[in-house]
Structure 1
Amino acid sequence: MDNIIIPKEPNRALNGVNHSARRSEFSVLIKTPLPMDSLDPEVGMEKNQFYIKNGCYYTRVTLRGKTIEKVLSNFTMEILYHISDDSNDSKRLIKFQRKSGEIAIHELSSSQLDINLFKKTVRSFKGKGLLFSGNLDDLQNITRVLFDNENEAEEITTFGQQINMEAYAFSNCIINQSGEIYKFNDAGIARINEECFYSAPVAQLNSKTSKYKNEKEFALEIGLINVEEFIDLLYQAYGAHGVIGFSFVTSALFRDIIFKRLRLFPWLFLFGDQGDGKSTFASFLMSLFGNELGGHSLFNSTSKALSRLASQRRNALLYLKEYSNDIERATLDFFTVGYDGELYTMAQKSVDNKTLSLEILSAAIVDGNELPSKERAQLARMIVLFFGKSRFTNESTDAYNKLEEARRQGLGQIIMSLYGYRSMFKNNYKITYDSIFNELKNKTEELNDFDDRQVRHIAFLLCPFKLLEDQINLPISYESLQESIIESFMEQVELIKDISDINIFWASLAHKRASSYKEVLRGLVYYIDEDKEILYLKLKEAIPYYNEYVNRNNLQRKDFATLKSLLTGKGNKCFVRSKQGSRPGVAYTHAKLGSCYQFKFKKGNYGIIMNKHEYKL
């Protein structure tokens, strides 16, 4: 597939449409006056029960047997577009012209066409006042005629990938796989063939409201840099991290395809101290989707707010900053359930007690200077990139500066080029992913300590690279990238082991043994047989020390039953089932401790080794 050729000067004509002409549509609508009088008032009365005279609506009524004119308004109207959406209260762009000639365009919902609300709404418009003195029948007669002549436009309510067509919508334009751009004019309308679409954030009538602040920043800026130049600079500036970030962004652009086939989508976690370059790295990736670079602080966000945020755009990228294990529990759970794409459901304030379900539609970059350590489940759903203080070479510094300049000019060409491969991803992603996954599973020596989810995450990062390696020039070979990703994951694997519930339990006893309780703990809570390499444990006696440890370290505490199940379950390779008596079981009767549990270990340099961790017990 050839690279899509995109004009490097976005102010010139795209797809045969001159941007400067399109931008003036709103002003043309404003300047084009409505008729001041009906061509034939008699016909208007006979057919529609109203007519226009001197720029006002009139009707005729019979009063005391005499027919007289009745003025209904001091303005006339034209419906420019009926904006359809998924609600039962769709909007209309309506042009109002006061009898003195002033013209304004306003957005009214269907409910605002109710007679009492309509009168109140038009009276509240800025400028010289508009008045409607007619009744419900008068208003319905007028709107019936206006409805017959209105144009239809579909509102873009969820930006990003559009589910009803193979196109991707930014707030300022719509793009397709052929590299065509359909720009929204200043009335907020874009025309594709015979269909019209509406983007409220760029409509001039919304220019002074802050309601669409974030949506306005989700805009395509074409820029000058192409996809090959971009990934090459990322690699020069950040090494393998840059290529991994590029792969994650590509996956985000096709999230719907990937999630449908894998039923999972991991988070990209940037870990490092303040000043280690996490935010700048994230800004280069976020700039592909517009100018919303500030991100959203997790300290100031509730789980409901995060769910709304992740459901507002489809196949886009969020930046969630300042992760901490001290954020509220529900926010932490967002990362667990969001990985599996589960819906967040909340009650709506309505008399029918309906609920609102929010689906996670976008990928996210998360950053923090502490790793998720309350639960293994959260860290296991992250792909972690470790950032540290690095010495920049002349080459990496130059690449960084070029990326900064490219970001200021716009990175839209990269998204345009990548989006051209959507059909290829749809047709080939699953078979390519499965092939990579099976290949990785056969690397028994290298990936011996990796669980199934971690192997899937490696395949997740490699798959976009594999699909694109024959389409664009990439700065690193597939084999080298695979090696770098596996090396990066090894550190994460060790971290996950460290925060597993079983390891936290043994760490709590090791911590207590380091205090003044050495002999009491070893004699009453557990006993070690050095010759047999068996540790005998009285779990109930150990629980107070475990609870104290997890509370002090702000870790997630497991109740007694859960902890017992984890320690004595099949997943714990160190647990030894009792063979005493005729009916082997879980518990063992020890001569000194009484009823207890057995765990095998290996001798280490300073303690005992269980589950590949050494504890000074």
Structure 2
Amino acid sequence: MNTSTESYPFRFEKAPKKKGTCPQCGQQNKFRYYEDLSGNRFEDYGRCERTNECGYWLVPSGKAIPKSDGEYTPPPEPVQIFPSDAVLTRINNSLLTEPDSNFHQYALKIGISYEHLAKWRVGSERVKDNILTLFIHEDSQNRITNAKWFLYDADGSRSKSFNSFSLKQPDENELKRYGMCLFGEHLLDTVKKRAVMITESEKTAVIASWFYPDYDWIAVGSCSGLTDAKMLALIGRRCFWLSDADKAGRENSSIRKLKTYQIRHGVRDLFPKRTDGYDIADAIRDAKGDKSALPELLDEHQRNLIASQSAVPDGGIQPPETNQETSEDMLEKEDLDWENQVGLPTKVWYNPDHRKHFKEYGFIEYNNAYWFASRREEKDAKGDDTWVFKSVSNFIIKPLLLILSKSNPKRIYEVTNTYKSSKVVDLEPKQFANPAGFSEIVESLGNFIFWGTKSHFTRIKMKLFELSKEAEEIKTLGYHPSGFYAFSNGIQNSKWVPLDEKGYGIVEHEDKRYFLPAMSKIFVSDDQEYQTQKLFIHKPGNIEFKAYAETFCDIYALNGNGRIGLLFYISCLFRDIIFHHFRFFPHLYLFGPPQSGKSTLAWSTMHLFGEPRPPFMLNTGTAVAFYKQFAEFRNAVVWFDEYQNNIDYGRVQSLKTAYDGAGHTKSDNTRDNRNKSIPVHSGCIVSGQELPTADIALFTRCILLQFTKTDYTTGEKDMHSRFNADVEQKGVSHLTAHIAQFREVFSERFMKSFDAEFLLIKKHFEKRGIDDRITKNMAILLATFQSLKDKLDFPFDETSLRHTANSIISSQNALIGNSKETSQFWRTIMYLCRKGEIKNGIDYRIMQKVHVEVSVNKKSTPKNISLNDPENPIGKPVLFIKLNNIFPMVAKSLREQGLKNMDQDSFKTYLCNTKEFICNAVGIKLAKVSTTALAFDYAYLTETVEDFSLQDHTDDEAEPVVKPG
């Protein structure tokens, strides 16, 4: 007895609340208390779960229980979890071991095959000194939900000395629980034609199913084991409860639940004269293989009736009693007596579509409301039953979509009330778990009220789940791994595919449905949802690529910036292909003073993805928003503005690691100790009035475009204004969709084109020592041009493009050479040398060398490195320094200037990986002692470090130096 009526507002407590000690029998953890609607326990009232041995049950009916203040809020429903991979491996391994458990041996002894046991998922596992039997619970979707471990004696009976167990639940404070489906659920007839025999124990279901193969068998675990969750698998089936021969088997909550859910069922008491818990498995044991001694479960009439019919018409046709005497009448009645109906117009009673719907789902949809049938107490004039249809809502629900997602699955429905007012709502699984949570959502939409019971709600839910069409939500716009480019209002594959005409946000691609939420009528009017995705929109402009590219390159003609900017945008559309080959992707850095046009080029690029998205301001934006920029779109462009060298150094590091595809990693704060990473999916434009020299490694990860002009003519300003008004504002994102179609061509050609362009750049700069990273960055853009030059009509040729690229590389390399840490080091040495703090002959020495001796380790013989070649027949001038002497003075000078410095070991690594470094030389005379020293190409240093020279500070003992040039 569990109610929450106006008179007696109480109910049983539910897990994870603990059970107490029974006041009658004294058994611990067996007494389930009652509570009021606010969750307050009634200490004196409850029920003992030891139904046969005790049966104590005290209900607080008649007791004046004051209602709690405020509205009652039901506790949150626990989320069902499933076994981890490790647990599943353990469970599945139990099916692979030898069938050594006593139950296996007993089953095989009475003729049951090993294949039958395996089909029923009966495993065997050694735990300490016992070999236990596992009954693995697998649901209708073939998911293992749980398992039970038992110990049996040799005669097949359960060992009284062993307490069975299942998977350990998480901490009781967590709203996560392992479920327990019907045992045998995975074997149920999918067309619901066979009758289902319900037993209490798993052992009984396994054994009886072998000897009675004409029926489906399931076990519920105990006399009260038929829970709400397990009921769903029985909807639409003919069921028989096979009572164990005791009080609990004949009178229990499971039988009452079959009635509550209006499942067509009967109760079969095969051993009415016994009270010792005897069941069908015991009868099979006592028959000793004689099948003629086995009892008949159903009579001939019932068997013939079941065999002649398929799915059972459910709903409103279950007699109030479920004893054996009425079960035959119940099974014979196929439809309601439509002459004895009240509550619906006659035209509804006899409408064949309504009858068909009723037979299939157990209710009728009429006038945008749900109608269920129930038996009236009054009989008609002939003494026959009469039935009444009553509505349980003032609305109906149309299933639109089941959004598949591991992290955030949703069900989307259209709700229409009797006044023909409609709303679309998205519901998470937990909001559909019970009528209370569901009603709270739909009532918030307007005049949508549900007053039915949980069984009514379950039947409605069964239909909705059956008819829901699956769709995958596209959470990241841009390129989708299924082979299309997604905007908020449609996708581009071989053609443009807009959203469905009804505006639900659905598109189809290769027989699969996808959901684009931003422009769905569910969210389109909500300014707080999907703000940036709504800007990422396909706009059907009318300009072709050739005309667009010509104007773009003309507007940004200075230093060839338009050409490089255009190719960077196109390469971003195929970023994943490029990143797959190199594990990096360059940034585009726009450098220049205010009003120079750098931001204008960035805005033009953002127009190519719909409505232009504003940049992220590096000096003000939040950390969370900063990291999300990288992952919000795939194969697109994101823009970071207002770069300054004094911004948070963590952001500098993040921009640097984004080049290598490494996003932000954070702890998931879960019990499995796993971390979550925000990936990098898009190319990055960074703009600012300072060169990115805070960390030279960031500078080398960028392609630098310099904007040096701030005074533009009237004609130049007019050209840009017309371009913005006549082209960009009308829409250019159709060009992105158009170019994205060339993915296969780009993928096929890119690497061959890259190899050729990289070699050409290297050859052009072979005498100047260009950084490889800068070379590769630019080669990516040149390879993009080569891959698509016959597909897109570019307004420039290879010769002019290479000239632009080489000029930009040369300029950037010079800026890097003058700004990186090593250049700073050499300029500081020159400064200290002129001050006399670093002395020639003691701390350093310059000598003309044909070869230098180098030692790999202390035990090896020194080897010579030759420095003469056709261009340097007399060798090279070499600078030798004693880093241990020099570095402390350099570090002190840098600190005094307020400049950043690193430790000596790290800096030595930097120096030894520069192009000017020759080797760690031995036999160098410094401070009149022969020692080791770092050797550097002095001529290269004078070429690459601005104004560098130590020629005026050589010593008299040094070998003659031939001046560079």
What TM-score does the superposition give when structure 1 sets the normalisation length?
0.81
Percent of matched pairs sharing the same residue: 24
Equivalence map 1:112-261=2 (5 Å): 112-115=431-434, 118-119=437-438, 121-122=440-441, 124-135=443-454, 137-165=455-483, 167-177=484-494, 179-185=495-501, 186-192=503-509, 194-206=511-523, 207-239=525-557, 240-261=560-581
1:375 and 1:499 in contact (8 A); partners too? no
2:866 is matched with none
Deviation at 1:475, TM superposition (A): 2.3
Alpha-carbon distance in structure 2 between the residues aligned to 1:513 and 1:120? 83
Q: Deviations over 1:315-369 (max 9, x none)?
A: 1111111112222233212222221223543222444443223321111111011
Which one-letter code corresponds to 2:906 in the other structure? T
1:566 and 1:572 in contact (8 A); partners too? no
2:699 and 2:816 in contact (8 A); partners too? yes
Q: Deviations over 1:449-501 (max 9, x none)?
A: 21222221221121222233334433222111101111111111012222333
Q: Which moved more, 1:495-504 or 1:279-288?
A: 495-504
Which one-letter code corresponds to 2:758 in the other structure? F
Deviation at 1:228, TM superposition (A): 0.5
**Residue 102 (structure 1) aligned with residue 418 (structure 2):** no
Which one-letter code corresponds to 1:172 in the other structure? N
Q: Deviations over 1:519-547 (max 9, x none)?
A: 34548994566998746445356336425
Relative distance call for 1:594 and 1:505 in structure 2 (3 A) is: farther
Choose which of 72, 79, 82 in structure 1 pairs with 2:392: 72
Relative distance call for 1:215 and 1:332 in structure 2 (3 A) is: same
Which one-letter code corresponds to 1:204 in the other structure? K
1:573 is matched with 916
1:525 and 1:542 in contact (8 A); partners too? no
Structure 2 gap segments, 5+ residues each: 1-344, 379-384, 849-876, 951-965
Alpha-carbon distance in structure 2 between the residues aligned to 1:600 and 1:105? 73
Deviation at 1:60, TM superposition (A): 4.7
Q: Deviations over 1:171-218 (max 9, x none)?
A: 0121124x4343454322234575433211111221124121100000
Alpha-carbon distance in structure 2 between the residues aligned to 1:53 and 1:474? 63
1:23 is matched with none
Alpha-carbon distance in structure 2 between the residues aligned to 1:485 and 1:218? 31
Choose which of 344, 347, 353 in structure 1 pairs with 2:667: 347
Relative distance call for 1:419 and 1:44 in structure 2 (3 A) is: closer
**Residue 320 (structure 1) aligned with residue 320 (structure 2):** no
Choose which of 605, 609, 612 in structure 1 pairs with 2:942: 609
Q: Deviations over 1:284-305 (max 9, x none)?
A: 1111111134211122345654
1:283 is matched with 603
Alpha-carbon distance in structure 2 between the residues aligned to 1:72 and 1:551? 82
Alpha-carbon distance in structure 2 between the residues aligned to 1:162 and 1:603? 52
Which one-letter code corresponds to 2:836 in the other structure? E
Deviation at 1:159, TM superposition (A): 0.8
**Residue 375 (structure 1) aligned with residue 695 (structure 2):** yes
2:595 and 2:710 in contact (8 A); partners too? no
Choose which of 395, 404, 412 in structure 2 pairs with 1:93: 412
**Residue 407 (structure 1) aligned with residue 743 (structure 2):** no
Alpha-carbon distance in structure 2 between the residues aligned to 1:277 and 1:131? 61
Equivalence map 1:29-48=2 (5 Å): 39=351, 47-48=360-361
Equivalence map 1:183-582=2 (5 Å): 183-185=499-501, 186-192=503-509, 194-206=511-523, 207-239=525-557, 240-301=560-621, 304-392=624-712, 396-405=716-725, 406-444=727-765, 448-510=768-830, 518-522=835-839, 526=843, 534=879, 536-537=881-882, 539=884, 542-543=887-888, 545-546=890-891, 549=894, 552-553=897-898, 555=900, 557-567=901-911, 569=912, 571=914, 573-574=916-917, 577-580=920-923
Deviation at 1:442, TM superposition (A): 2.8
Alpha-carbon distance in structure 1 between the residues aligned to 2:439 and 2:769? 69
Deviation at 1:513, TM superposition (A): 6.3
**Residue 590 (structure 1) aligned with residue 926 (structure 2):** yes
What TM-score does the superposition give when structure 2 sets the normalisation length?
0.53
Alpha-carbon distance in structure 1 between the residues aligned to 2:922 and 2:422? 91
Which one-letter code corresponds to 1:591 in the other structure? A
1:32 is matched with none
Alpha-carbon distance in structure 1 between the residues aligned to 2:781 and 2:510? 37
Query: SS state of the match for residue 764, structure 2?
Result: coil
Alpha-carbon distance in structure 1 between the residues aligned to 2:424 and 2:797? 56
Relative distance call for 1:117 and 1:256 in structure 2 (3 A) is: farther
Which one-letter code corresponds to 1:478 in the other structure? E
Which one-letter code corresponds to 1:57 in the other structure? Y
Alpha-carbon distance in structure 1 between the residues aligned to 2:682 and 2:348? 52
Alpha-carbon distance in structure 2 between the residues aligned to 1:164 and 1:132? 44
CA RMSD, Structure 1 to Structure 2 (Å)? 3.5
Q: Deviations over 1:381-422 (max 9, x none)?
A: 100000112554576445423321211111134224322322
Relative distance call for 1:58 and 1:289 in structure 2 (3 A) is: same
Alpha-carbon distance in structure 1 between the residues aligned to 2:372 and 2:411? 24
Alpha-carbon distance in structure 2 between the residues aligned to 1:81 and 1:497? 58
Relative distance call for 1:146 and 1:603 in structure 2 (3 A) is: closer
Query: SS state of the match for residue 579, structure 1?
Result: strand
Which one-letter code corresponds to 2:729 in the other structure? R
Q: Which moved more, 1:433-442 or 1:156-165?
A: 433-442
Alpha-carbon distance in structure 1 between the residues aligned to 2:884 and 2:943? 17
Relative distance call for 1:37 and 1:112 in structure 2 (3 A) is: farther
Query: SS state of the match for residue 378, structure 1?
Result: helix
Which structure carries more helix by proportion?
A: 1
Deviation at 1:271, TM superposition (A): 0.5
Relative distance call for 1:595 and 1:71 in structure 2 (3 A) is: farther
Query: SS state of the match for residue 370, structure 1?
Result: coil
2:363 is matched with 50
1:269 and 1:365 in contact (8 A); partners too? yes
Alpha-carbon distance in structure 2 between the residues aligned to 1:442 and 1:425? 25
Deviation at 1:155, TM superposition (A): 2.0
Which one-letter code corresponds to 2:445 in the other structure? K
Relative distance call for 1:114 and 1:183 in structure 2 (3 A) is: closer
2:583 and 2:661 in contact (8 A); partners too? yes
Q: Which has the larger radius of gyration?
A: 2
Query: SS state of the match for residue 322, structure 1?
Result: strand
Alpha-carbon distance in structure 1 between the residues aligned to 2:764 and 2:840? 44
Query: SS state of the match for residue 425, structure 1?
Result: helix
1:10 is matched with none
